[in-house]
């Protein structure tokens, strides 16, 4: 499971909907990648030096293929969106803990528990898989990885959805849209309520307000929620302390209630973080 920087090869790139791209790359990292982990993608431009953290959306381990789905939101992702089949792209990874480690409380450095395989720890449970906006992509691999019962709730801005077909194949999908043009008008929580969705555990990724809502919802319903956070990153490997999030208790690294999203996260037990 060692991290490394590697030159990957672009396998394919396509635009899914306006400004949202799907990029498959060939990399030896594919076989290690787990749902909820991410990689750092370099732009190759000397004026934009830092890696762009992008979640792993899907993998085909046997073909060494790894997929990212991302939104062009600035100069770096714009450059990445110009990559074509056969182009080289430098990536660093695999980064972060992923849902599996988060869900069993495993922590790479403190190692205060053993890593329990995700599907073992979730046996007999039902997971609500929630994605909002550009937080939807990592939930695809999460949903695919789950062998237990699951239901998916996806929140889009409007009816220009992406990846929806692929989620549909995995089970029941409920949709919310900000403008009501598809599914429930409102948030993913609104969709959960409207459709009477229930479950034992939540896996989620999305914008901060959504995650706050999920944290509150999980608490109210006595559920566990594992949520994936974002922060600006420099190193991606825990060295720069750029990417911290506040924690309820002392973090094990610095003991100051500030834990690193790139190493101890990005997926956290919602009760652990103070968001």
Partner 1 sequence: MNTKVTIAGVELKNPVMTASGTFGSGQEFSEMTDLNKLGAVVTKGVSSVPWPGNPTPRIAEVYGGMLNAIGLQNPGIDVFIERDIPFLQDYSCKKIVNVCGKTVEEYLAVVERLNDQPIDMMEINVSCPNVKEGALAFGQDARVLEDVTKKIKAVAKKPIIMKLSPNVTNIKEMGLAAEAGGANAVSLINTLMGMKIDINRKKFVLANKTGGFSGPAVKPVAVRMVYDVAHTVKIPVIGMGGIATAEDAIEFMMAGATAISVGTMNFVDPETTSKIADGIEQFMKDKGIEDINDIIGCVE
Ligand X SMILES: Cc1cc2nc3c(=O)[nH]c(=O)nc-3n(C[C@H](O)[C@H](O)[C@H](O)COP(=O)(O)OP(=O)(O)OC[C@H]3O[C@@H](n4cnc5c(N)ncnc54)[C@H](O)[C@@H]3O)c2cc1C
Ligand Y SMILES: Cc1cc2nc3c(=O)[nH]c(=O)nc-3n(C[C@H](O)[C@H](O)[C@H](O)COP(=O)(O)O)c2cc1C
Please give the residues from 223 up to 242 whose contact with ligand X meets the rule CB under 6 A: 230-233
Could you report how far apart the first and last alpha carbons of the chain are, in Å? Answer: 29
Q: Hey, how many other C-beta atoms are within 10 angstroms of the C-beta on 256?
A: 11
Using CB distances below 5 to 8 A depending on partner kind, what does residue 99 bind out of ligand FES, ligand X, partner 1, none? none
The answer to whether residues 157 and 179 touch, using CB atoms and an 8 Å cutoff, is: yes
Q: Hey, how many other C-beta atoms are within 10 angstroms of the C-beta on 179?
A: 11
Using CB distances below 5 to 8 A depending on partner kind, what does residue 231 bind out of a second copy, ligand Y, partner 1, none? partner 1
Per-residue tokens: 88: 């080289």
| 47 lies in the site for a second copy, by CB under 8 A | yes
Per-residue tokens: 71: 């939104």
DSSP assignment of 113-124: S----HHHHTTT
Using CB distances below 5 to 8 A depending on partner kind, what does residue 264 bind out of ligand Y, ligand X, a second copy, none? none
Using CB distances below 5 to 8 A depending on partner kind, what does residue 257 bind out of partner 1, ligand FES, ligand X, none? partner 1
| 170 lies in the site for ligand Y, by CB under 6 A | no
Q: Is 19 helix (H, G, I), strand (E, B) or coil?
A: coil
5 or 193: CB nearest partner 1: 5
| 155 lies in the site for ligand X, by CB under 6 A | no
| Block residue for tokens 């956290």 | 268
- What's the CA gap between 61 and 64, in Å, rounded? 5
62 to 81: interface string for ligand X, x by CB under 6 A: ------x-xx-xxxxx----
Query: Beta strands 173-177 and 184-185: pairing type?
Result: parallel
The H or E element spanning position 135 is none
- The correct pick among 15, 49, 157, 240 for binding ligand Y (CB under 6 A) is 240
Only segment of 49-57, 101-109, 174-182, 217-225 that touches ligand X (CB under 6 A): 49-57
Least CB distance to partner 1 at residue 50 (A): 5
Only segment of 59-67, 113-121, 130-138, 165-173 that touches ligand X (CB under 6 A): 130-138
Strand boundaries in 165-261, DSSP class E: 173-177, 184-185, 201-205, 224-228, 244-246, 258-260
| 45 lies in the site for a second copy, by CB under 8 A | yes
| Block residue for tokens 């652990």 | 272
- The correct pick among 8, 65, 134, 191 for binding ligand X (CB under 6 A) is 134
Count of chain residues binding ligand X (CB under 6 A): 22
Task: Using CB under 6 A, list all residues that contact ligand X.
Answer: 38, 50, 52-55, 68, 70-71, 73-77, 134, 137-138, 230-233, 266
Chain residues in the site for a second copy (CB under 8 A) = 45-47
């Amino acid at each position: 499971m060692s991290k490394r920087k590697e030159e990957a090869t672009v396998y394919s790139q396509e635009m899914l909907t306006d400004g949202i791209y799907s990029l498959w790359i060939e990399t030896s990292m594919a076989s290690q990648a787990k749902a909820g982990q991410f990689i750092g993608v370099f732009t190759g431009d000397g004026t934009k030096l830092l890696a762009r953290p992008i979640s792993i959306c899907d993998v085909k381990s046997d073909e060494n293929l790894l997929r990212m789905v991302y939104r062009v939101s600035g100069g770096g992702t714009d450059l990445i969106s110009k990559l074509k089949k056969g182009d080289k792209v430098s990536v660093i990874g695999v980064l972060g803990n992923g849902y599996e480690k988060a869900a069993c409380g495993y922590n790479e450095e403190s190692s205060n528990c053993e890593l329990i395989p995700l599907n073992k720890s979730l046996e007999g449970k039902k997971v609500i898989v929630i994605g909002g906006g550009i937080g939807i992509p990592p939930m695809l691999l999460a949903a695919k990885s789950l062998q237990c019962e699951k239901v998916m709730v996806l929140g889009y801005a409007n009816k220009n959805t992406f990846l929806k077909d692929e989620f549909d194949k995995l089970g029941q999908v409920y949709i919310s849209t900000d403008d009501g043009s598809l599914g429930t008008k409102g948030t993913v929580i609104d969709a959960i309520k409207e459709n009477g969705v229930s479950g034992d555990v939540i896996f989620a990724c999305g914008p901060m307000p959504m995650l706050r809502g999920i944290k509150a919802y999980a608490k109210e319903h006595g559920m566990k929620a594992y949520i994936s956070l974002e922060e600006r990153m420099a190193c991606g490997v825990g060295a720069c302390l750029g990417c911290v999030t506040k924690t309820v208790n002392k973090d094990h690294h610095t003991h100051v209630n500030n834990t690193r999203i790139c190493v101890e996260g990005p997926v956290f037990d919602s009760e652990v973080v103070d968001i």
